[in-house]
Amino acid sequence: MDNILEIKDLHTYFYGEDLMTKAVEGVNLPVRKGEALGLVGESACGKTVTAYSIMRLIQSPGKIIKGQIIFQGKDLLKLSAREIQAIRGKEISLVFQEPLAALNPVYTIGFQIGEGIRFHDREVSNKNQKEKVLELLKAVGIPEPESRINDYPHNLSGGQAQRAVIAMALSCNPQLLIADEPTTSLDVTVQAQIMELFLKLRREKGFTFILITHNLALCSQVVDRVAIMYAGKIVELATTEEIFNHPLHPYTKALFASIPKGIAGKEKLETIGGQVPDPADKPSGCYFHPRCRLKKDKCLQAYPEYREIKPGHWVSCHFTKI
């Protein structure tokens, strides 16, 4: 299967007066055309920075130091500002983490959804633009779109605001849609509705989908492959079935152990001791070793090679065995 996106040796750092924060450090990630890929890890692992790097949205004091982001044969990091603007929103779209923060409170949702259409098609008529916005509102399941098109963000519930943001991202029929923690601020019932919506839209529109989340369970019914990220690096990559049935990296195993599997109070819930290292002060050797129960001397001395342990299953651990 052809790759629509290939991230190669990506490094994105942030600079302060006396420190350098390595938010993303050597990420290699292929994304196959038409697939749904889950990018999973705790907060501060570099997931959102990776998404912003793809979109070329990293601002000072952040900087993409090196690497390649190949989309449809073009290295996005070599494009001019005008060239990347022509791709951003039209060919690659991002659903931001906080829907109400992504919406401008002084404009109607109809105006904001139509903004991308107007930007990428300067000759679109007001009538055709309105028709497209109404179609999008219907597609994302907002009731009574003819009246809601004139609503402001504060008129919407959290779930409706998220649907409006998804409509904005889909306004120009992108080939690649990235959703950054799209259900974080929603209750469990609405979370399920939003994920069902992504599945429905993907079937109908056929876009490639990257789901960024800290929730492994959320990925189980949604994505085809899962990439596990820790401290700015990909530490494991495999199909969803393989990851769920045969996790190999100690961090992946620890994430699974922390997922509730039964009725509350009937089991002991595992936790991962410690926390993700400060990106400005990472430990020597394997970055997970301070929290790893299986660590050995070698883990403190050298970062493990990222290798294909069996076909399609990549992992970064000194002592991984099939």
> What share of the chain in percent tops pLDDT 70?
97
- pLDDT tens sequence across 279-295: 999 999 999 999 998 89
Length, in residues, of the chain:
322
Pairing of strands 233-239, 225-230: antiparallel
CB-based contacts of 142: which residues, under 8 Å, 6+ apart? Answer: 148, 160, 163, 164, 167
| Helix, coil or strand: residue 243 | helix
Q: What is the pLDDT of residues 219-229, one digit of tens each?
A: 888 999 999 99
Name 314's Cβ contacts closer than 8 Å, sequence gap at least 6.
234, 236, 237, 238, 306, 307, 308
Spatial distance between the Cα atoms of 150 and 148, rounded to a whole number of angstroms: 5
Flag whether pLDDT at 144 surpasses 80: yes
Identify the band that residue 266 occupies on the pLDDT scale cut at 50, 70 and 90: low
Contact yes or no for 44/108 (Cβ under 8 A): no
pLDDT tens profile 107-142: 999 999 999 999 898 888 888 999 999 999 999 999
Angle at alpha carbon of residue 55, lines to 52 and 57, rounded to 5°: 55
CA nearest neighbour of 170 among 139, 127, 131: 139
Query: Is residue 264 over pLDDT 60?
Result: no
What tokens does 137 get? 């509102």
Element (H, E) at 57: none
- In this structure, are residues 14 and 62 in contact, taking their beta carbons and an 8 Å threshold? yes
Average pLDDT over residues 162-177: 94
Which residues on adjacent β-strands are paired with residue 211? 38, 179
The reported pLDDT for the residue numbered 181 is 92
Ordered domains of the chain (ranges, CATH): 3-91+174-316 (3.40.50.300)
pLDDT of residue 20 exceeding 70, the answer is yes
Dihedral class, residue 96 (left if φ above 0, else alpha if ψ from -120 to 50, else beta): beta
Q: How high is the pLDDT of residue 265?
A: 54
Beta-carbon contacts of residue 23 (< 8 Å; ≥ 6 apart)? 12, 13, 14, 46, 49, 62, 232, 279
Rounded CA separation 75/69 (Å): 5
CB atoms within 10 A of CB 223: 23
β-sheet bridge partners, residue 70: 6, 75
The DSSP call for residue 88 is B
Name 276's Cβ contacts closer than 8 Å, sequence gap at least 6: 42, 43, 44, 45, 230, 231
Closest by CA to 23, choosing from 36, 33, 38, 13, is: 13
Q: If you write DSSP's letter for every residue of 140-176 in order, what string do you get?
A: TT-SSHHHHTT--GGGS-HHHHHHHHHHHHTTT--SE
Please report the pLDDT score of residue 112 as a whole number: 95
pLDDT of residue 263: 56
Mean pLDDT of 23-47: 96
- The predicted model scores a pTM of 0.93
pLDDT of 262 strictly over 70: no
Cα separation, 124 vs 112, in Å, equals 15
Do residues 52 and 58 touch, judged by C-beta distance below 8 A? yes
Backbone angles phi, psi at 48, to 5 degrees: -65, -40
